[in-house]
Every structure is written in structure tokens, then in C-alpha cells.
A and B are shown apart, each in its own frame.
Chain A
Amino acid sequence: MPEPNARDSSLVACPDCDLLQHLPPIPPAGSAHCARCHARLWRHKVDSLNRTLALAVAAAFLLLIANSVPMLGLAVAGREAFTTVIGGVLAMWRDGRQEVAILVLFTAVIAPAFEIACLLAVVLAVRRPPAPAWAGRLLRAYEILREWSMIEIMLLGVLVALIKIAELATVIPGLAMFVLGALVFLLAAMAAVFDPRDAWARVGWVAGASTRPGEGGR
């Protein structure tokens, strides 16, 4: 398995304007920006793998809890009703809005779970470079799915729903709401400490040694 050699891996093309440039050596916690459009090209993150691993394990636990305990309860005229995240999906499904139910399930449960699982597997796999090619495939899925993981938006939605219903009945915030609140911070921290450039540099290439990075640049 070829390692990308140091000379070539400092060559980057800005994702937002395609300007070809060399990454200068960056001190830990420093970052490099595109000379033309100021897109952030790289942020050098310290101890990325260990920190990501710790946060991903914690996030996995919280996601599990958030999906198994009640999130929101309602008390009216002596009756109480509780719902969970999945309960919301089921209500939409039952009322004939299957497309919406699937979208909510995907953005509130599946994508976050996949985001966490992908990062867990990737940070474990790349500890001994070169990591197998499936680590690269997972990392790619992570990059694509990340914007569809919408825990923070769902939490705001739950808050608005709570206020809306509070005019009609007594609302009881459930444990899952607080767990989701903590999860929002954990997911943000996880994305902030993970260094995709570092992880990619440790992944084995799908094409063997035959293809080399371009010799371009000046």
C-alpha cells in the first residue's frame, strides 16, 4: 500500500475556488485559509483520534438513551400521554404522511446514528495505517451524510412544539429532551475535534501504486 508522499500531500486545490496551493506547515490548533476566497483549507487538530473516539463513544450512549426514554409528555384532565422520537415518526406514518415519516426517521435517528458509528469505526481503523479501504468508504459516507444529521434542529422543533402545546395542556419535558440537549453539544464537539485530512492520510488507497498524485503546482 503506498503512502502519499509528503511533497504531494501538501498540494491542495481549494474546494470553493479551485486555486492550487501548497499548505504551509501549520502549528497545532492553527488553520490555513485559501489565499483567494478564504475558505478554510485545513485546521490542524491536536490529538484528533483519541478525542474523537472518546466523544463518539459518549455520543453513541446518549443517542441510545435519547431514543429509548420518553421525550415529551402531556397531562390533561387526569390523562397522561408520552411520546418518544420514534413515536413522532410513527404518528406521521399512521396519519398517512409516510414520506415525511421516513424523512424524520432519517434525519433524526438514522443519519446521526450513522454519523457516530462511521466516526467510531474510522478512528479505530486508522490507528494502524494504512487502514483498509472500507475505512475510506465509511469516511466518505460520513462526509456525505453529515448535513442530513439534524439532531440540533429537531431539538429546537421539540421546544417549539412544547410551547405550542403548552397553551392547550400541561406539558411534561421528558428525560430524552435533556439527553438530546447534551448530545447536540457532543456532536458539535465531535465534529470539531475530528481531523478528516489526518484520517484520509492514514487510509489505504483504492488504486494501488500505479497512480500517483499529479506533479503539478509551482
Chain B
Amino acid sequence: MNAQPATAMSLGLAGCEVCGLVSRPLAGQPPHCPRCGERLHFRRPASIERCWALVIAALILYLPANLLPVLTTYTPLGSQTDTIMQGVVELWSPTSWPLAIVVFVASITIPLGKLIALAYLLITVQRGSPKSSRQRVRLYRMVKFIGRWSMLDVFVDTFVVALVQLKPLMWMAPGPGVMFFAGVVVVTMVAVNCFDPRLIWDLPQKECHA
């Protein structure tokens, strides 16, 4: 790899994150992209701090999301509550086990994996580690691409509740866990967008924020 690759920032230029135009931010007033009007930043503002805050918030939400019930089933005989994990176990049968795995991966593995990956990226960037940048940027792209799929369980619960409304025979209602789970999904998606992958390539002494 080159010792001094020419980044846009090192030449005083900024690539617009919305339209891709490379332009030179003018000193003085807050710079805007001349083509689309988006605020120009050399790097996303307070990227590391915001991303850490959101990762920690998501981690806190992750606990009630998995411990509280997401579905309650009412029958004349009584009621039964299910957490996400219990839902996966119930879905496990000789015919539907592949779907059980999909739900498990989307609801439990992906959110947790995403938080671990973001924490790893944040720590290596803060240390100014120059190692395996290419793998790390690939990890970032994967996290951004796969992260949305953790919405799966929110949709499952929504449509199960909408359909099973056979009062007084049997009906279902969402539990408080759904709200926390939806929170995890939204907060982690915003966290990924706050992280600036260009920081992976910046050497510590060259760091500067616009």
C-alpha cells in the first residue's frame, strides 16, 4: 500500500455523502454541497462519540427486548406469554426448523453481532490501528447491509396479532418486549449510519473533524 495515499481530506476537498460531488468547502460559513445542498463534512461530525452512545443505548435495550414477552396468547383456560427465544423454540418442528433458524439469526444473532462489530470498529479506530483496514471496511459494509433484517420479528408479531383475534376462543396481544426490540433495531441502524468508515483509513495524526 502507498505510504501517502491522496485522500480528498488531505487535499482540502470533501466528497458529498448524498450526491458524490467532490468540492472544496469554503472557509467561514458552514459549507454546503454546491450541487445538492447537503452539509459538507470531511468526516461525519462526532462520529465516534455518537456511535458509542447509540451502541450503549442499544445494548441496554437489548436486555428487555429479549427478556420481556413479545406475544401473549389468551384462551378461555388462561394466558401464555412468549419471549423472542420461546417463539423460536415453538417454531422448531420437523418441517419449519429452517424458519426457526432464520428468526433466531435475525432477532438474536444479528443485533448482538452488529453491536460487537461496531464496538470492534470503534475501538480499532480510536487506537489508530492501521491493520487490516480492508477487512474492517468489509465488516462495516456487511453490518450495514444485514442489519435491517432484524426487523423480522417485529413484522412477525404484528401480523400474528392482527390475525389471531378470535375472541373469546383465542386471541393474541403484543407484549412490552416488542417495543424494546423495535428500539434496538432503530437505534442500531442509526448507530451504523453515524459511524464514518473513512475513519478506518485515517492515521491518528491526520485526524481532523469539520
Chains A and B are bound partners:
yes
Q: A residues near B, CB below 8 A? A: 4, 8, 11-20, 36-39, 71-74, 76-77, 79, 81, 83, 87-92, 95, 97, 99-100, 103-104, 107-108, 133, 136-137, 139-140, 143-144, 147-148, 150, 153-154, 156-161, 163-165, 167-169, 171, 196-197, 200, 203, 205-207, 211-218
Is the C-beta of B122 less than 8 angstroms from some C-beta in chain A? no
Query: Interface majority SS on A: helix, strand, loop or mixed?
Result: mixed
Minimal Cβ-Cβ distance residue in A for B192: A147
Lowest 4 CB-CB distances: which A-B pairs, in order? A157-B155, A13-B15, A13-B8, A214-B24
Is the C-beta of B38 less than 8 angstroms from some C-beta in chain A? yes
| A147 touches which of B153, B189, B197 (Cβ 8 Å) | B189
In whole angstroms, how far apart are the Cα atoms of A43 and B44 in the complex? 25
Chain B: residues with Cβ within 8 Å of the partner, total of 73
A213 touching B151 by the CB < 8 A rule?
no
B174 touching A97 by the CB < 8 A rule?
yes
The stretch from B52-60, B111-119, B123-131, B160-168 touching chain A is B160-168
| B154 touches which of A4, A104, A196, A216 (Cβ 8 Å) | A104
Q: Kindly list chain B residues whose C-beta atoms are within 8 Å of the C-beta of A196.
A: 19-20
Over the window 21-34 of chain B, the binary record of Cβ atoms lying under 8 Å from chain A Cβ atoms (1 yes, 0 no) is 11110100000111
A15 touching B1 by the CB < 8 A rule?
no
Minimal Cβ-Cβ distance residue in A for B147: A147
B174 touching A100 by the CB < 8 A rule?
yes
In whole angstroms, how far apart are the Cα atoms of A14 and B16 in the complex? 10
In whole angstroms, how far apart are the Cα atoms of A139 and B134 in the complex? 30
Knowing A18-B15, A72-B163, A168-B164 are in contact, say whether A160-B156 is a contact too (CB < 8 A): yes
